[in-house]
Amino acid sequence: MDHHCIWVNNCIGALNQKFFLLFLLYTALSSIIALVILMHNFVMIYEVKDKNYNFIGAVLVSLVAFESIIFVIFTGDFLIEQLESIKDNQTCVESYQYKRGLPKPFEVNFRCVFGNDFRFWLLPVGSDARVDWEEEIIMERSVSERMKDL
C-alpha cells in the first residue's frame, strides 16, 4: 500500500497507482483548461456595459479561478510526489519506515506502473505490468543515524 486517499476513498497501491496518477493528471489538466476559459470570460466581463453584471460576474469568475488555481497546485504537487515515488521505487509508507525497493532506472519503474504499451499509458485501463511481490526491500539509514556521521 502506498497511502489512503480521502479524495478517492480508497487505498492507493501497486494495482491502482496508475489510475490514481491519471486522476491527478486529468484533474490538473482540467483545472488548467478551466483557468484558460475563465481568463477569457474575465476579459469578456469587462466588455459588458452593465456595471452590476460586471461586478457580480467578476467576483464569480474570480472565485472559480481561485478554486482552479488551488486544484492545480494541490494535484500538481501530489502528481510530482507520486512520480518521485516511482523514480525512487518507494511507497509513501516505505519512506516513513526508511525502506525502499531495489534501485532501478525510472523507465523500468514507470513501466511497472503503466505497463509496456505506451498507447495505453494515458488511458484508464489496466496495464500488462506484473507486480514483483517478492522484490527485495532495502533499509535506509534513519535520520538519527545520518546525524551521527556529521
Q: So which residues are the catalytic ones?
A: 5
Euclidean distance between CA atoms 42 and 98, whole angstroms = 48
Specify the 3-state DSSP secondary structure of 12. Answer: strand
Whole-number Å distance between alpha carbons of 83 and 106? 9
Of 94, 101, 116, residue with least CA distance to 18: 116
Distance CA 115, CA 133 (A): 16
User: Do 128 and 116 touch, CB atoms closer than 8 A?
Assistant: yes
| Type of residue at 108 | V
- Alpha-carbon distance 120 to 96, whole Å? 32
Enclosing H/E stretch for 144? helix 143-148
